[in-house]
Amino acid sequence: MSTARVVIRSAFAVLSAACAAVAAAAPLAQRDLGNGMKVLVKEDHRSPVVVSMVWYRAGSMDEVSGTTGVAHMLEHMMFKGTAKVPAGEFSRIVARAGGRENAFTSRDYTAYYQQLHKSKLPVAFELEADRMANLSLSAEEFSKELKVVMEERRMRTDDEPHSQLHEQMMATIYTVHPYRTPVVGWMNDLRNMRVEDARAWYGQWYAPNNATLVVAGDVQPDEVFAAAEKFFGPVPSRPLPQRRPQVEPEQKGIKRITVKAPAELPYLIMAYHAPALRDVEKDWEPYALFVLSNILDGGEAARLNRELVRKSRVAVSANASYDLINRGPSLFFLDAIPAQGRTVADAEAALREQIRILVENGVSADELQRVKAQATAAQVYARDSVYYQAMRIGMLQTVGLPPDSVDVQLRKMQEVTAEQVQEVARKYLVDDGLTVGVLDPQPLPGGKRPRTGPEDTSRDQR
């Protein structure tokens, strides 16, 4: 049970564009149940396993002020029992069936999955259909689980200086759009959250007409459709709340923030507003931005590593990332950790110099070709994991893109020209849409090297 934020973002930037049409992959089978639930089936017969995922189109971007974190909190509560399946039993049933299971919440969606031997797929369907409609949401379980979620926030954010900076960055970049709030929620909102908030959320969004079932593995689509109809078909559809656009007004000038936290090394993030993919056939800018991010940071041969880390040595690490698959707006990120004796100002100047070179001189044919070869290969490699195939399908469907568009996306990416890369760099990597965040490292109390010895007086040799 986890929140999907920073880490997941960059992983999928690669994944989602790493789309290749190689040797006879089975087509994606699709069906809609009578209640509006979508069912997508990807056959992969390499191993007698199956992954089943239920995706709800409800993430932290659908939350309102004061109850941030409720999407993620509800995700946790989905394991806390129904009338038929008491709290904790869900996990035990899946475990006894030989399965693995978990769930994740992002800004855009909440998803639940089970990985099982193919013969156990109905176990997953029965449990998921049950908790889609019959969740108990008891006040007692809620108050215990809220503590767990606050521990999760402490672990992921409050004690992680880079996460703190990222959280503050998002709150600065967006003034209106709900991407400004953290998926896990603000601590104060968690402290004041009530079981009624979770009940309201569940009532609004957990309906079959807001859900997609994705099954990938050693299955026959017709059998999956029949089982889906049997278990999920009886769950009634409901009207969904209005979704308000909450469009972010145009940024008119650079924003800068600083976060202080215990650390040794400073850290710099630069974030530029950029468009997300909306029409897989007609759009070209997101594909060009994807290529651009890989020219800067697509492996060891890419520019930032070569120029900033290896050549000028201004940084010990330097990265670029861009995620084109989002319900909301996208960002183009650059980040760097300055080398010893260098400052964040040096690192910022070096990153800006790379942008200037891109805008003025463009990219070479070799670099472009390398990025495309890597994307083609990555698409083949992605097929080694049934889980990631299902993941990608569910994500595309849930953000509103065609779930079978991975091949189209790869083709469009292969069509990107050097001029287009230069053009998106010129258009989007500009100061008026830039937010700069700096981690200002603070020494640990009592010096950098905390040190105490064992308290016992044992006399063994250690």
Partner 1 sequence: MTSASRRLLAAIAAAACLIPALACATLPIEHWRTAAGARVLFVQTHDLPMLDVAVDFPAGASRDVPDKSGAASLTLSLMRGGAGGLGEDEISEKLGDVGAELSSRFDMDRAGYGLRTLSSGRERVQALSVLATVLQQPDFPQEVFAREQQRTLASLREAETRPEVLADREFRRLVYGSHPYSMRGAGEVETVEKLGRDDIVAYYHGHYFADDAVVSIIGDLSRDEAADIAEQLTSRLARRTQPLQGLPAPVPLQSARLSRIAHPATQAHILIGQPGMSRLDPDYFPLFLGNYVLGGGGFASRLNEEIRQKRGYAYSAYSFFMPLAVAGVFQIAVQTKREQSEEALKVAQDTLERFVADGPTQQELEAAKQNIVGGFALRTDSNRKILDYLATIGFYGLPLTYLDDFPARIEQVTLDEVRQAWRRRIHPDRMATVVVAGGAPATDAR
Task: Out of 226, 247, 349, 373, name the contact with partner 1 by CB under 8 A.
Answer: 373
Task: For residue 63, indicate whether it is catalytic.
Answer: no
Find the shortest distance in angstroms from Cβ 412 to partner 1: 18
Q: Per rule CB under 8 A, is residue 176 in the interface with partner 1?
A: no
Binding-site residue total for partner 1 (CB under 8 A)?
Answer: 99
Sign of the alpha-carbon torsion through 66, 68, 71, 73: negative
Are the beta carbons of 52 and 415 closer than 8 angstroms? Answer: no
Of the listed 43, 63, 75, 101, which one is catalytic? 75
Residue 87 or 430: the one with the smaller Cβ distance to partner 1 is 87
Are the beta carbons of 73 and 131 closer than 8 angstroms? Answer: no
Task: Out of 257, 380, 408, 418, name the contact with partner 1 by CB under 8 A.
Answer: 380
CA distance 211 to 208: 5
Q: Per rule CB under 8 A, is residue 91 in the interface with partner 1?
A: yes
Are the beta carbons of 69 and 228 closer than 8 angstroms? Answer: no
Residue 349 or 377: the one with the smaller Cβ distance to partner 1 is 377
Show contacts with partner 1 in window 140-169 (CB under 8 A).
143-152, 154-156, 158-160
Show contacts with partner 1 in window 223-282 (CB under 8 A).
262-265
Query: Which span (63-71, 97-105, 401-409, 427-435) binds partner 1, by CB under 8 A?
Result: 97-105
Show contacts with partner 1 in window 190-229 (CB under 8 A).
none
Q: Per rule CB under 8 A, is residue 2 in the interface with partner 1?
A: yes
Residue 112 or 272: the one with the smaller Cβ distance to partner 1 is 112
Task: Out of 133, 378, 408, 418, name the contact with partner 1 by CB under 8 A.
Answer: 378
Find the shortest distance in angstroms from Cβ 426 to partner 1: 25
Partners of 329 in beta bridges:
none
Show contacts with partner 1 in window 390-449 (CB under 8 A).
441, 444-446, 448-449
Q: Per rule CB under 8 A, is residue 64 in the interface with partner 1?
A: no
| Alpha-helix runs per DSSP H in 184-298 | 187-191, 195-205, 221-232, 285-297
Per DSSP, the residues of 357-390 read HHHHH---HHHHHHHHHHHHHHHHHHTT-HHHHH
CA 49, distance to chain mean position in Å, is 25
CA 225, distance to chain mean position in Å, is 28
Task: Out of 10, 138, 385, 414, name the contact with partner 1 by CB under 8 A.
Answer: 385
Query: Sheet containing 110-117: which strands, arranged edge to edge?
Result: 2-3, 100-105, 110-117, 49-56, 211-217, 38-43, 28-32
Catalytic residue numbers, as ranges: 75
